[in-house]
């Protein structure tokens, strides 16, 4: 178990998760500190580098408060409400300078781990912007969120991103937890299908759809899948977070599909809205 947690605490999290949170926060902070002009646009986003860094700083603070057991309402879990909450928070938080934002990103990641270290076990489920979670899943959520925006900042600055196979594996508890919540009702309506999703060298899980409901189960599904999709782990996470076009990943050989109904594969990414 990973006993890395904050400046002076120890805490059992899934192996490597505390360290990955610290490393990712520090790598993002290094990107932000190296930015001369935080008003530069982030590709594929309406935000500037300064706004993306400010969002990360505030989000890490939000996660730290949640881990400490403080209630922090933030939208109702729908994409529209979360986007609205993000816009409202950026409107009242004016800091856009690189050094203060970099420091806050790291400090609040540490505060999160400190808060987790002071709790025996995972504790009661916490209310989060994407539904109830225990602290281990919340830690996975924090890492996933930082990786998505860290990827954006790295692209904006033409630097190497920090999403790798090891960190994707640590994001999976959150991803599996949240998939039913972020299912797209318009896309899943009327669809009956059983998917088997395999990450090359990593996680396998099943996704079953019927009558508008979505069930996600860790491990190989008990029933035979209609469609098996094999993905490179980094491609999976980037597609899931809306950072990589699925057709581009397919063209690059990062996605393969087979089964009785292989034509279901291209539909899969559209069944969910990026969290």
Task: Judge whether 175 lies within some domain.
Answer: no
Task: Judge whether 104 lies within some domain.
Answer: yes
**Same domain, residue pair 87 and 198:** no
- Summarised one tens digit per residue, pLDDT across range 117-142 is 987 666 778 999 999 999 999 999 99
Q: First-to-last CA distance in the chain?
A: 27
Can you tell me the mean pLDDT for 42-60? 97
When the pLDDT of each residue in the chain is averaged and rounded to a whole number, the result is 92
Total tally of structural domains belonging to the chain: 2
The pLDDT of residue 12 is 65
**Same domain, residue pair 103 and 216:** no
Can you say whether the dihedral through the CA atoms of 164, 165, 170, 175 is positive or negative? positive
Residue-wise burial string across 219-247, b where 16 or more C-beta atoms lie within 10 A, e elsewhere = eebeeebbbbbbbbbbbbbbbbbebbebe
Task: Judge whether 38 lies within some domain.
Answer: yes
**Same domain, residue pair 126 and 30:** yes
Please determine, for residue 275, whether its predicted confidence score (pLDDT) is greater than 80.
Answer: no
Q: What is the pTM of this model?
A: 0.93
Cβ partners under 8 Å of residue 55, min gap 6: 47, 86, 89, 90, 149
Q: Which domain holds residue 158?
A: 17-164
**Same domain, residue pair 138 and 219:** no
Given pLDDT bands bounded at 50, 70 and 90, which one contains residue 7? very low
Are 146 and 25 in contact, with CB atoms under 8 Å apart? yes
**Same domain, residue pair 118 and 202:** no
What pairing do the DSSP bridges indicate for beta strands 193-199 and 227-231? Answer: parallel
- Output the 3-class SS for 3-33: CCECCCECCCECCCHHHHHHHHHHHHHHHHH
H helical segments located in the chain = 17-33, 49-67, 79-92, 98-117, 135-156, 165-178, 185-188, 233-240, 246-251
> For 189-271, where are the E strands, in sequence order?
193-199, 204-210, 213-218, 227-231, 255-258
Domain boundary among 164, 193, 213: 164
Number of neighbouring beta carbons within 10 Å of residue 196:
21
**28 CB-side CA count, 13 A:** 37
């Amino acid at each position: 178990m990973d006993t890395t947690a904050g400046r002076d605490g120890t805490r059992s999290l899934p192996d490597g998760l505390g360290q990955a949170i610290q490393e990712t926060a520090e790598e993002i902070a290094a990107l932000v500190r190296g930015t001369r002009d935080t008003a530069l646009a982030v590709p594929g986003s309406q935000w500037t580098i300064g706004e993306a860094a400010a969002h990360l700083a505030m989000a890490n603070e939000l996660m730290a408060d949640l881990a400490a057991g403080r209630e922090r309402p933030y939208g109702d879990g729908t994409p529209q409400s979360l986007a609205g909450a993000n816009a409202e928070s950026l409107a009242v938080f004016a800091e856009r300078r690189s050094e203060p934002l970099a420091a806050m990103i790291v400090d609040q990641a540490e505060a999160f781990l400190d808060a987790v270290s002071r709790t025996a076990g995972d504790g009661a489920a916490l209310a989060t912007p994407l539904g109830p979670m225990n602290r281990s899943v919340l830690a996975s959520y924090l890492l996933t969120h930082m990786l998505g925006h860290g990827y954006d900042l790295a692209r904006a600055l033409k630097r190497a991103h920090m999403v790798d196979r090891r960190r994707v594996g640590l994001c999976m508890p959150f991803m599996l937890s949240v998939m039913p919540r972020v299912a797209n009702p318009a896309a899943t309506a009327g669809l009956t299908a059983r998917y088997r999703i395999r990450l090359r060298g990593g996680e396998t899980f099943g996704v079953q759809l019927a009558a508008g409901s979505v069930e996600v189960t860790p491990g190989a599904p008990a029933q035979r899948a209609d469609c098996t999709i094999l993905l490179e782990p980094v491609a999976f996470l980037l597609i899931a977070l809306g950072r990589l076009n699925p057709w581009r990943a397919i063209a690059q050989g990062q996605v393969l599909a087979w089964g009785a109904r292989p034509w279901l594969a291209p539909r899969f990414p559209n069944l969910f809205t990026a969290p």
